[in-house]
Structure 1
Amino acid sequence: MGNLPTLIGFSAVVMWSALAVLTAASGTMPPFQLSAICFLVGSTIGVAAMIREPARFRAFRQPLKVWALGLFGLFGYHFLYFTALRNAPAVEAGLIAYLWPLLIVVGSALLPGEKLGWHHIAGALMGLAGTALILLRGADGGFGGGSVLGYAAAGLCALTWSSYSLISRRFGATPTDVVAGFCMISAVLSAVCHLLLETTVWPETTGQWLAVAGLGVGPVGLAFYAWDYGVKKGDIQVLGVASYAAPLLSTLILILFGHGRATVGIVVACLLITGGAFLAAKDLLKARTSG
């Protein structure tokens, strides 16, 4: 497995780390509307790459279960994520949502042929402690202003993406081009839900429009193709460990762009969640070092 595919896969982690700051900068557009626009941009990227080789559209001939899994992961996660950041402070909601790497490593230890070790349990407890610290702190020292909804959506984000990633192991032969189809259908579903359930709100400034476009091109677009290519062609163990840096990178970016403050509580919560993920991944880290 070459280094280039691994680097391409890692670029997805970097792009996902910008998901929170771009969402926070995108204004007050409701979740389904934001999802529809972002997924439309993401699908356009994939379709544009396939047009030059029409035979690649055969990738869309997949069983219903593949489509169901893709929509569950992409559509479900991002609707919950945008909901979380619309109803809770960006740093806190982002940290909780980025519990997914920890849940992936703990969940994978429960799969057939794997064992749940002390470090998995300790890592999970550290992640839970970091989450508890965020929840007890709340938006302004407590729950208020709809933050309970935001924190709940963030927790469901982590469960959705971790379960999607674990189940995806069964579909390793599915071509990356199908991701364009996932994005396309997710865009249509988001648009329908928006028309039925939400009031349209357009970005008010150029900066907000650029943030929406950035979401569609990067975290809700190229990142999916890069991750899929990386895990299939690159070193999946390196990528697995690299993803545990996502909550730290996301938090640092948010604070850097003024969407949060580096309080003692945030720093401790970030260290607990990130540290817990690295502890749970101890076996992978050890294997890469000895290898």
Structure 2
Amino acid sequence: MTRRKATIIGFIAVLLWALLALFTVGSAPVPPLQLNAICFAIGAVIGLIWVWRTSGFAVLRRISWRVYAFGTAGLFGYHLLYFSALRIAPAAEAGLIAYLWPLLIVLFSGLLPGETLRKGHVLGGLIGFAGAALIVTRGGAGFQADALPGYGLAALCALTWASYSVLSRRLGAVPTGSVAIFCVFTAILSAIAHFAIEDTIWPDTAIGWLSCISLGLGPVGLAFYVWDVGVKRGDIQLLGVASYAAPLLSTLALIAAGIAEATWPLLIAAGLITGGAALAARASATKS
């Protein structure tokens, strides 16, 4: 596989993640843990078919249990926080805060051995967090008290995925097929936790079922596998910059579907978060 082809494959993940908020809203009233279980069960099937058709299942036995535990914790934690945030806070605003993860990845990676935290990283961080502050304060209109818990979960969501992504660099090269096992374990954990603390609520409309299935097939399924191919075999810097378009695309998708209103504070916040992350990415690509 060429570097260019792998990069194009990786970019598919960015497009799929832009639909994550839209499908999550459409899946209501399914509880977060139940939704986690459904989506990752579908994602696991996709991955297991991938492994069967490419490398075979034997390759999975050579991967350390620590890698499986780490990957499962990252996927389980991120999506539980994300689904929960969008259930109790406005989807567009919570989604934008959650999409601070590309920016946090740039900032955190600058603290790793051999990396440098440059002025562009700091400036980009300030711009991105200004966008998040604009969301929380509703453009200066004051706090929406009942949405603050959801915004907090969205912030933890961004922190979780950024930490997972940066720390995963220390695991070395791991076959893409390992993601299938991450999905299997995440689905099992989610199902156990769901039956322990949630009431089972199935979608009550065709749109609800379609949203759940679409989540599992795309943003919470195929996206993980194509992203893994992209970052391991493609141009990771180009993919990193491309991922900063996700919050803007996600917001536009919600507006187009009539779920979010195209207010100036929301559009400005989307621009600040996307622009701040892009600035930080540029700083990473520039040698000091």
**The 10-residue stretch of structure 1 (241-250 or 51-60) with the greater mean CA deviation from structure 2:** 51-60
* Alignment CA distance shift 1:40-1:57 (3 Å): farther
Conserved in 1, the CA contact under 8 Å of 2:3 and 2:234?
yes
Letter of the 1:26 counterpart: S
1:241 is the counterpart of 2:241: yes
Seq. identity, %: 55
1:58-207 equivalences under 5 Å are 58-137=59-138, 142-145=143-146, 147-207=147-207
The 2-side partners of 1:36 and 1:205 are apart by 19
The 1-side partners of 2:54 and 2:236 are apart by 28
What secondary structure sits across from 2:261 in the alignment?
coil
The 1-side partners of 2:114 and 2:49 are apart by 41
**Structure-1 residue corresponding to 2:283:** 283
**Deviations along 1:184-238, whole A, 9 cap, x unmatched?**
0000000000000001111001111000000000000000000111111111111
Conserved in 1, the CA contact under 8 Å of 2:27 and 2:208?
yes
The 2-side partners of 1:31 and 1:171 are apart by 29
The Cα of 1:283 is off from its aligned counterpart by: 3.0
**Deviations along 1:108-156, whole A, 9 cap, x unmatched?**
1111122211111111111111111111119x963244x2221111001
Letter of the 1:88 counterpart: A
Q: How many residues end up aligned between the 2 structures?
A: 285
The 2-side partners of 1:57 and 1:93 are apart by 41
**Deviations along 1:30-67, whole A, 9 cap, x unmatched?**
10000000000000011123334673343243223211
**Structure-2 residue corresponding to 1:44:** 45
The 1-side partners of 2:265 and 2:236 are apart by 33
What secondary structure sits across from 2:245 in the alignment?
helix
* Alignment CA distance shift 1:53-1:219 (3 Å): closer
Letter of the 1:236 counterpart: I
What secondary structure sits across from 2:30 in the alignment?
coil
The 2-side partners of 1:52 and 1:66 are apart by 22
Conserved in 1, the CA contact under 8 Å of 2:18 and 2:247?
yes
**The 10-residue stretch of structure 1 (97-106 or 53-62) with the greater mean CA deviation from structure 2:** 53-62
1:239-278 equivalences under 5 Å are 239-278=239-278
Letter of the 1:239 counterpart: L
Conserved in 1, the CA contact under 8 Å of 2:106 and 2:284?
no
Gaps of 5+ in 2: none
Letter of the 1:278 counterpart: A
What secondary structure sits across from 1:214 in the alignment?
helix
The 2-side partners of 1:54 and 1:233 are apart by 16
Letter of the 2:235 counterpart: D
Q: Return the TM-score normalized by structure 2.
A: 0.94
**Structure-1 residue corresponding to 2:218:** 218
What secondary structure sits across from 1:71 in the alignment?
helix
**The 10-residue stretch of structure 1 (126-135 or 29-38) with the greater mean CA deviation from structure 2:** 126-135
The 1-side partners of 2:138 and 2:101 are apart by 21
The 2-side partners of 1:31 and 1:283 are apart by 37
The 2-side partners of 1:207 and 1:83 are apart by 20
* Alignment CA distance shift 1:113-1:53 (3 Å): closer
Letter of the 1:29 counterpart: V
What secondary structure sits across from 2:168 in the alignment?
helix
The 2-side partners of 1:220 and 1:143 are apart by 29
Q: Return the TM-score normalized by structure 1.
A: 0.93
The 2-side partners of 1:180 and 1:116 are apart by 34
Gaps of 5+ in 1: none
Letter of the 1:85 counterpart: L
